[in-house]
Amino acid sequence: MKQKKIVITGGPGTGKSTIIDHLIQMQFTCMPEISRTITKEAQLLGIDQLFLKDPLLFSELLLKGRIEQYESAVNSPSDKVFFDRGIPDIHGYMDFLGTKYPEVYTQKSKEFRYSHVFMMPPWKEIYTTDSERYESYEQSLTIYEYLQEGYRKMDYSITRVPEGSITDRVNFILNSL
């Protein structure tokens, strides 16, 4: 059986990491979001928001980390591996910022393909900010559109995850596979 590589994506504050945490509790193999780690490491060096200060450096670190996650998944014996964001998220965010970027980002998105993409739409009732999430709810709406467009440009079919309890959302994803 071919391994399914499943992306859970969407704008900031839509419940992606909560879904991933729930899948981990259910014993699924999951690759966590790495942008928070990169942001926290930069903050320790005195850079409040590396993504805003140097989007290309931030994106380069993300690309490297997401490729490592993908390769780790390939070597996993699991038949399903869930990713908290995928490689196309990187250029979706750079498009949002209006940052020009090298073709390597789209090339890597074409090279490292996922089998399913689940998009978490903005949901005002659960949206919060924190020390790593700088975007406003209104910006999250715009980012969501850029992410959808980024995945569509890479010829992905996107499944929209409806609002609901964590259990309902996880069951929707699992039943859609």
Q: Is 85 helix (H, G, I), strand (E, B) or coil?
A: coil
Q: Which residue has the tokens 């450096």?
A: 57
pLDDT for position 133 = 53
Identify the top-confidence range among 12-16, 94-98, 142-146, 173-177. Answer: 173-177
pTM beyond 0.85: yes
64 lies in some domain: yes
177 lies in some domain: no
The amino acid at residue 51 is: F
* pLDDT average, residue stretch 29-56: 74
Closest-CA residue to 98 (of 52, 141, 63, 65): 52
CATH number, domain with residue 96:
3.40.50.300
* pLDDT average, residue stretch 118-139: 72
30 and 104 in contact (C-beta within 8 Å)? Answer: no
Examine the pLDDT at 142 and tell me if it is beyond 70: yes
Question: Rounded distance, CA 108 to CA 66, Å?
Answer: 10
* pLDDT average, residue stretch 61-83: 93
Task: Pick the range with the lowest mean pLDDT from 54-63, 71-80, 97-106, 110-119.
Answer: 54-63
Residue 23 belongs to domain spanning: 4-172
Q: How many domains does the chain have?
A: 1
HSE of 48 in the Cβ direction (CA atoms, 13 Å)?
5
